[in-house]
Amino acid sequence: MLAQRICADHGYEFVRACNAGASKKTFHVRHAGQDLALKLFTSTPDHERLSREITALSACNHANISKILDHQSRDIDGTVVNYLVEEYIGGGTLNERLTKGRLARPDTHALALAMSEAIAHLASRNLVHRDIKPDNIMYRDDGAAVLVDLGVARHLNATTITQPFILAGPCTPQFAAPEQLLNEKSRIDWRTDQFGLGVTLSVATLAMHPYSGDMDLNNGYMRLMAQRPPAIEFIDAANSQGLGILIPMVEFWPIKRFVRPADLIVAWQNLGA
């Protein structure tokens, strides 16, 4: 097993296998008493995107963004193996938490503030995550929320590697902003992440996609692509629960969302738990 071979080479203790995605597997390992996550790519990666993920993670230093500790590309028995070593986050994903029910108001507020600050940190480094969703938010053992997986993050000053003829840019459609779905690169900035966070918070606390008014995420995506307005059920639910802040976050046009990261943070701070 490659993970155990890598552990032996580095002097890591192999603990267990964790999540397995389409392109990489994650393992819980331990070194010198520190819990770590070994992320092993299971297929030949897009080296440009891998390089950008490493660069993005390395550029970040924020409590609510996962930390990269090592990255290597090695030949093991004639096979080139790419892997990352990151901090281990043991509290599971937001998606796993939602299987037990929607978030309570204090938990929603804490999550919203933590992720708004994470987005602001990315923006200060000209980075856009582009894939904010419940599966990419994890919790530390102390309950702190952490944004993970910068695999499709975009540096706004770097040359794009998404071809212009592609109908949609890299994203998860049910949580993506219109400018991603339409591959309108000139409109992609921190407000793209604001939209993804708005959809995520709506799902987590209102149990509905803003554009469908229920948990039919695919219908929400289709209504968004048809340039329909947010569902009246969403607007009513957000206002009735004192979460009207979600409404501008998921506006179709970026210009109608919060203009600056600081504005979004202050809005959540003023809202209170």
Alpha-carbon span 25 to 39, nearest angstrom = 6
Active site residues: 131
C-beta separation of 246 from 235 below 8 A: no
Alpha-carbon span 229 to 154, nearest angstrom = 27
Q: Which residues contact 189 (CB under 8 A, 6 or more apart)?
A: 123, 128, 156, 254
C-beta separation of 180 from 171 below 8 A: yes
Quick check: pTM over 0.95? no
- pLDDT confidence of residue 237: 97
Q: Determine how many CB atoms are found less than 10 A away from the CB of residue 271.
A: 16
C-beta separation of 188 from 95 below 8 A: no
Q: What residues does 26 pair with on adjacent strands?
A: 39
**Whether the domain at 2-87 and the domain at 94-271 fall into the same CATH topology:** no
Q: What is 94-271's CATH number, 1.10.510.10, 3.40.50.1000, 3.30.365.10, 2.40.50.140? A: 1.10.510.10
pLDDT tens by residue, the chain, 273 residues: 788 888 898 899 999 998 766 677 899 999 998 999 998 876 555 566 666 667 777 778 899 999 888 888 877 777 778 888 999 999 999 999 999 999 999 999 999 999 999 999 999 999 999 999 999 999 999 999 999 988 788 887 755 544 454 555 577 999 999 999 988 888 999 999 999 999 999 999 999 999 999 999 999 999 999 999 999 999 999 999 999 999 999 999 999 999 999 999 999 999 975
| 227 dihedral zone (left: phi>0; alpha: psi -120 to 50; beta) | left
Alpha-carbon span 164 to 249, nearest angstrom = 26
Q: Which amino acid is at 10?
A: H
Q: Which sequence spans correspond to the domains of the chain?
A: 2-87, 94-271
Alpha-carbon span 223 to 212, nearest angstrom = 7
The CATH fold assigned to 2-87 is Phosphorylase Kinase; domain 1 (3.30.200)
Tokens of 158: 């770097």
